[in-house]
Amino acid sequence: MSCPLVEFYRAEGYKPDESIGYLMRRILSLIAQGVERELESSGLTNAQWVPLLKLYMGRASTAAELARECDLDAGSMTRLLDRLEAKGLCRRTRSSEDRRVVNLELTEAGRAAAKEIPVILSRIQNAHLAGFSLEEWQTLKGYLTRIFETAQTLHASAEKNEK
């Protein structure tokens, strides 16, 4: 059962700072600043901790997979991996099964650094949710998940129509 389309926003009287896109972007920006502040002593930037965490969580094992996971182009991912490798946090190794494939792996220092990221993310996000009850948090997650799923559907439909 779907809800009828409701126009929550109208061009006349539109206030950008009241849009969900603006609010979500500002929240993400403030959370990212908090995470970067917490990671400052480790030398990791906001751009670097995301791929480090994804490697740690097993979400990718090659540069191409990691680029997709991080929504980056191949060139940007290569430069980012160069910086992580220079910091001694990851290394590239040729696949023994297919020499064309270069696998990524965290070094011991990379695993140690990545292990701290969920601790920091949990602390920062919990601080931003101060005053919410468990029920309110679960409701908020449900609403955000619905928006995300709708966004994915709209994106897939737009991509299909472009072809």
Q: Domain 16-157: which topology? A: Arc Repressor Mutant, subunit A (1.10.10)
Q: Report the pLDDT value the prediction gives residue 27, as an integer from 0 to 100.
A: 96
* Cα maximum dimension of the chain: 61
pLDDT tens digit sequence for 6-20: 899 999 999 999 999
Q: Is the pTM of this model over 0.75?
A: yes
Sequence spans of domains, the chain: 16-157
pLDDT tens digit sequence for 62-97: 999 999 999 999 999 999 999 999 999 999 998 888
Question: Cβ(118)–Cβ(52) under 8 Å?
Answer: no
Question: Cβ(70)–Cβ(49) under 8 Å?
Answer: no
DSSP E strand boundaries for the chain:
90-94, 102-106
Q: 44-63 burial string, b = 16+ CB within 10 Å, else e?
A: beebbbbbbbbbbeeebeeb
